[in-house]
C-alpha cells in the first residue's frame, strides 16, 4: 500500500529539520512541493521523482499525492515549518475524507516559523500567546479583525503570520490600529525575516515603530504583552517567577 508523509521541513536550514523528517524524505519515491521549499531540501531528494507546484496550488498538490499513494507510491508532501500550522496537513485530511482513499497518512511535525522567530528574538512566548494570520485569502477580514481585537484585549502575546503580500499591503496597518487600542506604542515587538534562511534579519523594536520596518511574506512578527520587556537587545516575556 502506498503512503503519504506530510513532511514539516522547518524554517529552512538543514540542521533545523528533524531526524524523522529527513528519514521520511529519504524513504519516499516521489516528493511533491512548492518550488521554494523543494529548493531548501534539494540535497536530500536528488534521486527522487520531484513534482513542483506553484503558490496557492495546495489543493492540486494534495490531490496529486492522494492519486499517487492510491497507485502504491510512497509520497513525501513537503510543507514549510510545521505542516499542522497553516500547512498541508488539514487540506490533505479534508480531501482524504471526501474520497475513498486507501493510503496511510502520517504527519511529521517540524519547527514552525513561530518557534524559529521566537528563538532569534529571545524569549517572547513564555506565557500564553495567540497566533493570527493576516491573510484574508481564505479567512474574511472581519474574522481576522475580531481575533486581533480579542487577543489584544486579553493581553496575549501575538504572533502574526502572513503579515503582508503584494495584494494585501494594508492589513498590517489595519491590524496595528486594532492592537494599539489595547497596547501602548512602547510595547516591545519583534520582526523576523527569513528565519534560519538566506537573507535572515531580526529586529527588536517598539510597536509604534513597527510600520517603519521592511515587512513582507517572509516575515513573522511577534508583539509582546503588557509585561514583555527588552534587555540586551532581546525580547523577554516574564512568566511570573520571582527571583
Ligand atoms: N507552516 C508554516 C507557516 C506557513 S504560513 C510554519 O509552521 O512556519 C507562511 C507564513 O509563515 C509566512 O508568510 C511568514 O509569516 C511565516 N514564515 C514561514 N517561514 C518563515 C521564516 N523562515 N522566517 C519568517 N517567517 C516565516
- The Cα 95–Cα 85 span in angstroms is 17
Which domains does the chain carry? Answer: 3-111 (3.40.1010.10), 114-236 (3.30.950.10)
Q: Which atom of ligand 1 is nearest to the CA of 114?
A: 8
Cell, residue 202: 531580526
The closest residue, in CA terms, to atom 13 on ligand 1 is 162
How many C-alpha atoms does 123 have within 13 Å on its Cβ side? 9
In the reported structure, the alpha carbon of residue 242 is separated from the centroid of ligand 1 by a whole-number distance in angstroms of: 34
219 lines ligand 1 (CB under 6 A): yes
11 lines ligand 1 (CB under 6 A): yes
In the reported structure, the alpha carbon of residue 10 is separated from the centroid of ligand 1 by a whole-number distance in angstroms of: 9
- Under the banding of pLDDT at 50, 70 and 90, the label for residue 103 is confident
User: Cell numbers 529519504 correspond to what residue?
Assistant: 26
Q: What percent of the chain has pLDDT over 90?
A: 90
In the reported structure, the alpha carbon of residue 193 is separated from the centroid of ligand 1 by a whole-number distance in angstroms of: 9
The closest residue, in CA terms, to atom 18 on ligand 1 is 113
Q: Which atom of ligand 1 is nearest to the CA of 11?
A: 22
User: Taking a C-beta distance cutoff of 8 angstroms, is the pair 31, 102 a contact?
Assistant: no
> In this predicted model, what pLDDT tens digit does every residue of 3-52 receive, in sequence order?
999 999 999 999 999 999 999 999 999 999 999 899 999 999 999 999 99
Cell, residue 221: 512578527
pLDDT recorded at residue 22: 98
In the reported structure, the alpha carbon of residue 70 is separated from the centroid of ligand 1 by a whole-number distance in angstroms of: 30
- Under the banding of pLDDT at 50, 70 and 90, the label for residue 87 is very high
Q: Which atom of ligand 1 is nearest to the CA of 221?
A: 15
User: Taking a C-beta distance cutoff of 8 angstroms, is the pair 36, 105 a contact?
Assistant: no
Cell, residue 144: 481576522
pLDDT recorded at residue 232: 98
> In this predicted model, what pLDDT tens digit does every residue of 105-117 receive, in sequence order?
999 999 999 999 9
**Termini Cα distance of the chain:** 57
161 lines ligand 1 (CB under 6 A): yes
Q: Which atom of ligand 1 is nearest to the CA of 79?
A: 1
Q: Which atom of ligand 1 is nearest to the CA of 135?
A: 13
Of 50-59, 75-84, 149-158, where does mean pLDDT reach its minimum? 50-59
User: How distant, in Å, are the alpha carbons of 80, 171, 198 from that of 88?
Assistant: 9, 24, 23
- The Cα 98–Cα 25 span in angstroms is 26
Q: Alpha helix (H) ranges present in 42-104?
A: 58-70, 89-98
Amino acid at each position: 500500500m502506498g503512503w503519504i508523509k506530510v513532511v514539516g521541513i522547518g524554517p529552512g536550514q538543514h540542521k533545523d529539520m528533524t531526524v524523522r523528517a529527513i528519514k521520511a524524505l529519504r524513504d519516499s519515491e516521489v516528493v511533491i512541493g512548492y518550488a521554494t521549499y523543494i529548493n531548501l531540501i534539494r540535497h536530500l531528494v536528488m534521486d527522487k521523482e520531484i513534482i513542483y507546484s506553484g503558490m496557492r496550488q495546495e489543493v492540486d498538490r494534495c490531490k496529486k499525492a492522494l492519486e499517487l499513494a492510491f497507485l502504491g507510491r510512497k509520497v513525501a508532501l513537503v510543507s514549510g515549518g510545521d505542516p499542522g500550522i497553516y500547512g498541508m496537513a488539514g487540506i490533505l485530511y479534508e480531501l482524504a475524507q471526501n474520497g475513498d482513499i486507501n493510503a496511510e497518512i502520517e504527519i511529521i511535525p517540524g519547527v514552525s516559523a513561530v518557534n524559529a522567530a521566537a528563538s532569534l528574538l529571545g524569549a517572547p512566548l513564555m506565557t500564553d500567546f495567540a497566533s493570527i494570520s493576516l491573510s484574508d485569502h481564505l479567512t474574511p477580514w472581519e474574522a481576522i479583525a475580531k481575533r486581533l481585537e480579542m487577543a489584544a484585549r486579553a493581553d496575549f502575546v501575538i504572533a502574526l503570520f502572513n503579515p503582508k503580500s503584494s495584494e494585501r499591503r494594508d492589513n498590517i496597518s489595519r491590524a496595528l490600529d486594532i492592537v494599539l487600542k489595547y497596547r501602548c506604542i512602547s510595547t516591545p515587538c519583534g520582526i523576523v525575516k527569513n528565519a534560519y534562511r538566506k537573507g535572515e534579519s531580526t529586529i527588536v523594536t517598539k510597536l509604534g515603530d513597527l510600520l517603519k520596518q521592511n515587512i513582507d511574506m517572509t516575515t513573522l512578527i511577534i508583539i509582546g504583552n503588557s509585561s514583555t520587556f527588552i534587555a540586551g537587545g532581546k525580547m523577554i516575556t516574564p512568566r511570573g517567577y520571582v527571583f
